[in-house]
C-alpha cells in the first residue's frame, strides 16, 4: 500500500519536472500516427452520445397523425434500429480505444503510449 503510493508520488514528481522545463506546459503539438489515431478515436467516443441524443430527439419532428411514420410499429423499428446501431458503434470503439495508463493520463504520456 505504502510502496504503491510512493510510486505514484514519484511519478507525480517526474511529471512536474517534465512540465517545468517546458515552461509553457506539457502539451505536445504534433503526435505520431498511432497516437494521433487514438486521439481521434477518443473524439469519436465523445461525439457518439451527442449523435445519440440528436437521433433520439429526431422523431419528434416527424409528421403526426398521417402516414406510416406516425405508427407505433414504425417508431419501434426506428428506435430499436438506432439503438442497435449505437450499441454496435460503441462496441467497435471499445475495441479500438486504448485505455490510457491508469496512473498517467496527461498529454505528456499520450505520445509515450504509442507503439
Under rule CB under 8 A, residue 46 binds other proteins: yes
CB nearer other proteins, residue 29 or residue 61: 61
Q: Which of 27, 32, 34, 53: binder of other proteins (CB under 8 A)?
A: 53
d(CA 51, CA 44): 10
**Eight-state DSSP code of residue 6:** H
Cell 467516443, residue located: 45
Q: How many residues bind other proteins (CB under 8 A)?
A: 51
Q: Which of 36, 42, 113, 114: binder of other proteins (CB under 8 A)?
A: 42
CB nearer other proteins, residue 32 or residue 101: 101
* CA-wise closest residue to 86 among 64, 55, 58, 42: 55
Angle at 9 between CA 8 and CA 11, to 5 degrees: 65
Q: Which of 37, 86, 111, 113: binder of other proteins (CB under 8 A)?
A: 86
Amino acid at each position: 500500500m505504502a510502496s504503491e503510493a510512493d510510486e505514484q508520488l514519484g511519478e507525480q514528481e517526474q511529471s512536474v519536472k517534465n512540465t517545468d522545463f517546458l515552461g509553457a506546459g506539457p502539451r505536445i503539438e504534433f503526435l505520431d500516427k498511432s497516437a494521433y489515431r487514438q486521439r481521434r478515436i477518443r473524439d469519436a467516443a465523445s461525439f457518439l452520445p451527442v449523435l445519440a441524443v440528436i437521433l433520439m430527439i429526431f422523431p419528434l419532428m416527424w409528421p403526426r397523425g398521417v402516414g406510416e411514420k406516425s405508427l407505433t410499429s414504425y417508431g419501434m423499428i426506428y428506435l430499436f434500429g438506432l439503438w442497435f446501431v449505437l450499441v454496435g458503434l460503441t462496441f467497435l470503439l471499445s475495441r479500438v480505444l486504448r485505455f490510457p495508463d491508469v496512473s498517467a493520463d496527461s498529454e505528456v504520456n499520450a505520445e509515450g503510449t504509442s507503439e
